[in-house]
Amino acid sequence: MNKLKHIAVLTSGGDAPGMNAAIRAVVRAAIYYDLQVTGILRGYEGLINGDFIEMERKSVANIIQRGGTILKTARSDAFRTKEGRNQAYNQLKSNDIDALVVIGGDGTFTGANLFSEEFNYPIVGLPGTIDNDLEGTDFTIGYDTAINTVINAVDKIRDTAESHDRLFIVEVMGRDSGLIALRSGIGVGAEAIMIPEANMGVEGLVTRLESGRKDKSSKIIIVAEGDEVGGAFNVGEVLKQRFPLYDIRISVLGHIQRGGKPSCMDRVLASRLGVSAVEGLLNGQSRDMVGLKNGEIVFTPFDHAIKHIDAKEITPAWLKLVEILSL
């Protein structure tokens, strides 16, 4: 085991439900292994500015169920500069912090990878993003809660759509990834799901609606924000012209998808990964993200975790499933 004495933890990038459960697990594991543990506020911004707080067992009491992040988060431009990273390193050194746990998504890991390489500094990452767009873990912390938030919202939209015989176009988050749209779309029985990985296009959607059943009183189209159509309003414009008899409404779910109590799946995932991150650091792991694949804890180098090429590939089987179910 490594001779670490003092570690720090931060959350960075967009918040995700389950980040608090992850912080709690890191802090409790650190205490269990007799390490001092510091919380860094507002991600890399706080690291550069020395915005540190001492964490103890009680600092993370009653947070496992809370959305957001008690450490707050930010997207840091300063950390992209060499000067900013130098300041960050000096803060760590002057506070005798031997290693870092970072919780976030691809931006967080890109920064961590660079920093760890430049200063030969040990860092392990936890995948905390609703987008589920990282390699090396079946699910990211926050994804399960987000898709449940989406289906709860769209179930409500379905009630009113059904009452008014309306077609709703619902836009969901995910940045470049269609994974939130895909799973939640299947979960709500959407008539069509538009994701960047499939590129159905508005014409493809029109064809699907023309060939679909005419006796359905409500229709729900789920559009991933990253789809090339450029958002639900663009889709709405085209559909209003092509189907003048349809009563069409648009709903952009927005940041509601990032909030709320984490699901049990996310709490347990965050707890397992948080403890494993600390154990990983103690075992000499660095520049790796810890994830869960097929039920097993795995460590994946940051530069592979952030590659989007084959990240959570949406296979033809998934697309066929969507087609079969939307009849």
Per CB under 6 A, 130 contacts ligand F6P: yes
Residue selected from 45, 98, 131, 197 as contacting ligand F6P according to rule CB under 6 A: 131
Q: How far is CA 20 from the centre of its chain?
A: 14
Report angle CA 153, 159, 163 to the nearest 5 degrees: 150
CA torsion sign for 185, 186, 188, 189 is positive
DSSP-derived secondary structure for 136-191: T-SS-BTHHHHHHHHHHHHHHHHHHHHHHTEEEEEEE--TT--HHHHHHHHHHT-S
Per CB under 6 A, 129 contacts ligand F6P: yes
Number of CB atoms found within 10 A of residue 56's CB:
11
> For residues 60 and 311, which CB has a smaller minimum distance to ligand F6P in the complex?
311
Residue 129's nearest CA partner among 313, 315, 314, 308 is 308
Residue selected from 14, 111, 178, 274 as contacting ligand F6P according to rule CB under 6 A: 14
> For residues 129 and 271, which CB has a smaller minimum distance to ligand F6P in the complex?
129
> Could you tell me the CA-to-CA distances from 31 to 64, 120, 190, 276 in Å, in that order?
17, 25, 47, 14
> For residues 169 and 253, which CB has a smaller minimum distance to ligand F6P in the complex?
253
Span of 123-131, 201-209, 271-279, 297-305 interacting with ligand F6P by CB under 6 A: 123-131
Q: How many chain residues are in contact with ligand F6P, going by CB under 6 A? A: 10
Residue selected from 43, 68, 104, 105 as contacting ligand F6P according to rule CB under 6 A: 105
> For residues 173 and 220, which CB has a smaller minimum distance to ligand F6P in the complex?
173
Binding mask 242-281 for ligand F6P (x = CB under 6 A): ----------------x-----------------------
The torsion of the CA quartet 145, 146, 152, 155, rounded to 10 degrees, works out to: -140
Span of 3-11, 31-39, 41-49, 126-134 interacting with ligand F6P by CB under 6 A: 126-134
CA torsion sign for 123, 126, 129, 133 is positive
How far, in Å, CA of 165 to CA of 247, rounded? 7
Q: How far is the CB of 81 from ligand F6P (least distance, A)?
A: 20
Q: How far is the CB of 323 from ligand F6P (least distance, A)?
A: 25
- Yes or no: say if 261 and 67 are a contact pair by the CB < 8 Å rule: yes
> For residues 12 and 271, which CB has a smaller minimum distance to ligand F6P in the complex?
12
Catalytic residue status for 131:
yes
R_g over Cα of the chain: 22
Residue selected from 39, 84, 128, 174 as contacting ligand F6P according to rule CB under 6 A: 174
> For residues 178 and 274, which CB has a smaller minimum distance to ligand F6P in the complex?
178
How far, in Å, CA of 47 to CA of 91, rounded? 7
**Which active-site residues does the annotation give?**
131
Binding site for ligand F6P (CB under 6 A): 14, 105, 129-131, 173-175, 225, 258
